């Protein structure tokens, strides 16, 4: 009986020794774990800060490099000869242009331009900056005008609608200093080689300038060979002003008969002829 009690006590002692732990030991272990985890978080936070700083420095370096490598303005010596008063040439006299370049320096030229398309007008003025030895570009919010000087001829080319331009008005064209060449300079002599214009003016009387001569000088004149309904050969001459209602049609037969029908003023119409046997107030029928 005594041996049994001793064995039981030894068993209980062994169990307490192998499995039991004091509260102090448990607290110490938890504290150690918490401290380890806290250390890890702090190290991670520090590492993240270093990465962000590196990215920021890289961005600043890239921005500085882009600004530094921007393309510089053109630098060089431009040709002489831009300065002067230039007139658009090889065009109709009513599609005119005059450009005065009154100042030229190392990087730009100053110009004043006036342009027209029949009764419509426009203008542009300002600074054009050189982009090569013989080219300069003017730019505003509406477009650009490129000036190119070559062999004493100034060429203007527009993109958009630069300046203050009326309907169909443009600065485009070739310009010369001195007298321009107009395609309609000899329009009266070329259109009426036998002096028919004098007889037409006489028939029209006091309205001749308004309805006939002025439109001929400033309008677009075309002609073609036609045949009247009776088989007579004739020339059909037509004149019109694109920005105005004034116009006329003329038939001149091979034997000198003339028929003139004109529109002018507030849609007024006039008809005259030297054919004493013709009583209508319209042009005779014809075919091309």
For 207-274, give the DSSP string: GHIIIIIHHHHHSEEEEEEEEETTS-EEEEEEEE-TTSS-EEEEEEETTS-EEEEEEETTTEEEEEES
Residue 142 has pLDDT above 50, yes or no: yes
Cα–Cα distance measured from residue 159 to residue 188, given in angstroms and rounded to the nearest whole number = 36
Ramachandran angles phi, psi of 217, nearest 5°: -70, -40
The answer to whether residues 126 and 142 touch, using CB atoms and an 8 Å cutoff, is: no
Averaged pLDDT, 82-87: 98
Distance of CA 43 to the CA centre of its chain: 61
Q: What contacts 40, CB < 8 A, 6 or more positions away?
A: none
Q: Do residue 192 and residue 280 come from a single domain? A: yes
Give 221's strand partners. 239
pLDDT of residue 40: 36
Q: Which residue has the higher pLDDT, 29 or 189?
A: 189
Averaged pLDDT, 63-75: 43
Max Cα separation, the chain? 172
Q: Is 76 contained in some domain?
A: no
Averaged pLDDT, 111-140: 97
Residue 66 has pLDDT above 70, yes or no: no
pLDDT of residue 32: 37
Share of the chain above pLDDT 70, in %: 75
pTM to 2 decimal places: 0.70
Q: Do residue 89 and residue 166 come from a single domain? A: yes
Can you list the positions of beta strands (E) in the chain? Answer: 84-89, 97-104, 108-117, 120-132, 135-140, 143-150, 153-160, 164-165, 173-177, 220-228, 233-240, 247-253, 258-264, 268-273, 286-287
Q: Pick from 68, 98, 120: which residue ends a domain?
A: 68
Length of the chain in terms of residues written: 288
Share of the chain above pLDDT 90, in %: 69
Q: Do residue 112 and residue 154 come from a single domain? A: yes
pLDDT of residue 22: 41
Q: Is 78 contained in some domain?
A: no
The answer to whether residues 101 and 156 touch, using CB atoms and an 8 Å cutoff, is: no
Q: Do residue 155 and residue 212 come from a single domain? A: no
pLDDT of residue 87: 98
pLDDT of residue 266: 72
Per-residue tokens: 193:
């080689």
Q: Which of 8-17, 166-175, 187-196, 201-210 has the lowest mean pLDDT?
A: 8-17
Per-residue pLDDT band for 73 (boundaries 50, 70, 90) equals low
Domain membership of residue 116 as a residue range = 84-177
Specify the number of domains making up the chain. Answer: 3
Q: Which of 58-67, 188-197, 210-219 has the lowest mean pLDDT?
A: 58-67
Q: Pick from 122, 149, 177: which residue ends a domain?
A: 177
Closest by CA to 229, choosing from 283, 277, 285, 275, is 285
Cα–Cα distance measured from residue 272 to residue 234, given in angstroms and rounded to the nearest whole number = 17
pLDDT of residue 76: 83
pLDDT of residue 67: 31
Residue 170 has pLDDT above 50, yes or no: yes
Q: Is 77 contained in some domain?
A: no
Q: Is 230 contained in some domain?
A: yes
Q: Which residue has the higher pLDDT, 34 or 180?
A: 180
Per-residue pLDDT band for 265 (boundaries 50, 70, 90) equals confident
């Amino acid at each position: 009986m005594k041996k049994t009690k001793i064995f039981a006590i030894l068993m209980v002692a062994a169990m307490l020794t192998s499995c039991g732990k004091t509260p102090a030991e448990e607290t110490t272990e938890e504290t150690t774990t918490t401290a380890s985890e806290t250390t890890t978080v702090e190290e991670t936070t520090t590492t993240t800060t270093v990465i962000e700083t590196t990215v920021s420095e890289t961005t600043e370096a890239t921005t500085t490099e882009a600004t530094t490598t921007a393309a510089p303005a053109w630098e060089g010596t431009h040709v002489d000869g831009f300065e002067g008063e230039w007139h658009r040439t090889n065009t109709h006299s009513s599609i005119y242009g005059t450009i005065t370049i009154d100042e030229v320096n190392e990087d730009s030229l100053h110009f004043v331009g006036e342009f027209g398309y029949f009764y419509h007008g426009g203008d542009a003025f300002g600074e054009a900056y050189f982009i090569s030895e013989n080219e300069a570009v003017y730019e505003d919010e509406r477009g650009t005008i490129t000036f190119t000087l070559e062999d004493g001829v100034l060429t203007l080319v527009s993109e958009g609608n630069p300046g203050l331009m009326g309907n169909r008005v443009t600065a485009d064209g070739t310009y010369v200093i001195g007298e321009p060449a107009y395609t309609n300079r000899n329009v009266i002599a070329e259109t009426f080689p036998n002096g028919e214009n004098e007889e037409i003016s006489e028939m029209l009387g006091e309205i001749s300038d308004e309805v006939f001569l002025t439109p001929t000088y400033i309008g677009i004149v075309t002609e073609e060979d036609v045949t009247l309904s009776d088989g007579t050969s004739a020339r059909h001459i037509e004149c019109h002003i694109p920005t105005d209602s004034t116009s006329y049609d003329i038939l001149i037969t091979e034997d000198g008969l003339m028929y003139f029908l004109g529109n002018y003023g507030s849609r007024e119409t006039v008809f005259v002829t030297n054919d004493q046997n013709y009583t209508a107030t319209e042009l005779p029928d014809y075919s091309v």
